[in-house]
Structure 1
Amino acid sequence: MTSWAITANGLRKSYGDKTVLDGIDLAVPEGTVFSLLGPNGAGKTTAVKILSTLVSPDPASGEIRVGGHDLATDPRAARAAIGVTGQFSAVDGLITGEENMLLMADLHHLSRGEGRRVAAELLERFDLTEAAKKPASTYSGGMKRRLDIAMTLVGDPRIIFLDEPTTGLDPRSRHNMWQIIRGLVSGGVTVFLTTQYLEEADQLADQIAVLNDGRIAAQGTAEELKRRIPGGHVRLRFSDPAAYQFAAVTLPEAARDDASLTLRVPGDGSQRALRSLLGRLDAAGIEADELTVHTPDLDDVFFALTGADPRHGQSDPTSQSTLPSQSKENVR
């Protein structure tokens, strides 16, 4: 049976007459990465703040459980099971990396000896030992984010909320952060991730929910979401005009490009659809010089699900983040 790290039924939150979360349901299995996507103002940060006990949900909300604890009746126990890394670093730049870690150990009421042991282990784990005695203000952006997560882990949380953890990082630092997140999950930690980088969710998330206009517009694995969006196709390229013409007759549903001798055959990119197409080609004795499968990516999913939202571009009352505005074609 699935063990759930986070469950929420009918989660609601309003600020005055503005409804930010309009009865969303969430179920996050233990030891997985769950990514919440949505346009600016969709309520991602509000959801994180509620689930991490920083903000109270509306009274009309249903039951919310985090780490097996009911937020309404036992928020203290839920708080003890979680760690939170927000969009903006909690690192104090005026003290050293080691001192930041020891401060967190004090906040978790660890003894002096235990605090130093945990701090040293985490600094080594996040490749920060050499910089431990230097002021955190001298750290690069990637080092500060690593220190931020290391500080979050001082209390050994089993659930971590990462609210846009790689915002502002260069590509190398972002990929390093992905490796850290994968390592956490392989150790049994559950990660609840919000991100403005759709590729990040594609790379990391076991499950993705798209939040739009205060509601969950779609949920599933990255591949499941991509298959819901039209536009997938198989591209067949020929060098022999005769073979191209024969293939065009055999595949009447294909879009033709006579100049480049290519056919675009609609398909969802699944193995079943590809096997069916290859079977038809084999039965007709047709062999293409090049076959490429094109599937929609998460950019396509995001814009298909949220592009018509009249609130697109408005700000979440608790967030200043934005999502990228460009989409791209994913070639596989």
Structure 2
Amino acid sequence: MNFYFPIRLILFLAIIFITAVVSGCEKRVTESEFLLNTIVDVTIISKDNTDQAMHIAFGAIRNVENLMSSYNNDSEIALINKNAGKSYVKVSPETYNLIKKSIDFSIMTDGVFDISVAPIVDLWGFNQQERHIPSEKELEKALSLVGYKKILLDDKNNSVFLQKEGMKIDLGAIAVGYAVDKAINALKEIGINKALINAGGEIYALGLPKKKKAWRIGIQHPRQKGDLLGSIDIKDNAVSTSGDYENCFEENGKRYCHILNPKTGMPVDKIMSVTVIADNTTDADALSTALMLMKPNEAIELVERLENIECIIVAGTSKKDMKILLSKGLEIITFEEAGYYRFRLRDFNEYNNI
């Protein structure tokens, strides 16, 4: 997932929803804020201190936004970009380590996950209202500014240098998940053991709702707006879904989405959506984006080499040729005629210590 949600920005920027449901001695509270360029929903179930817990959770996410958002001109990422081709920039250990982890994902995915893809995203206009299909010459110029190997790191000084002037990095495909993990860890530190955080599709489910065996997470149907493809039950796990239906446009009957291949500069075209289940939201976020840019069978093969990672891939380009692929740790337990799937981790009870 990433920071590109201009429509939501217009609709939801100033909206904060607060609901509270009292159940026995526990109180269930949900609050929403616009952070990291998306809507962040935090649900906390606790006997007390929900106000303090909300403040801490949103504070943790806001801190990540202040450090890493490319939309914040004062962020450390913005400072790195301003000094591209000029000088190293010393950053906080938090930002440095996430950039380093991003490069690890680049290596793992043979370069399809790449935080330096920002010049191509800008070229297509996915950060602006005006979007267009670039020419081959435009793509060639933008691609010369892309490549994770052009990001130089100085471990001794926590410094980052972009080799070429005009290069830009954007942590949008990993920082949202990272922010969710930071908020969940902050809640754990104050004794909260039941919570759900959803940051624009980057979700972590902590503990269990009262009298429930799992949190049931819906998965968006990639070709039926407003409908669900299905759901998956989780506890103490993360779920991230990336799809070609967010921040996209159509021209001459062809869909173009914001998830771009850093090697070709072209949008994803073989997969409609990827849902990743992992033990942390950072990994789920990064992998859901990376797998979108791989061939479906190669994506499954990668996931099955990794520990505590599973995925649901919706391959194809339309509802007619849609095909659902699962990694070996997942199964479909029910399928309704309306096209709704119930997915489950095969070792759900053992995996979640229920």
Q: Into which bin does the TM-score normalised by the smaller protein fall?
A: under 0.3
TM-score by length of 1: 0.26
TM-score by length of 2: 0.25
The structure with the largest strand share of the pair is: 2
| CA radius of gyration, larger in | 1
The structure with the largest helix share of the pair is: 1
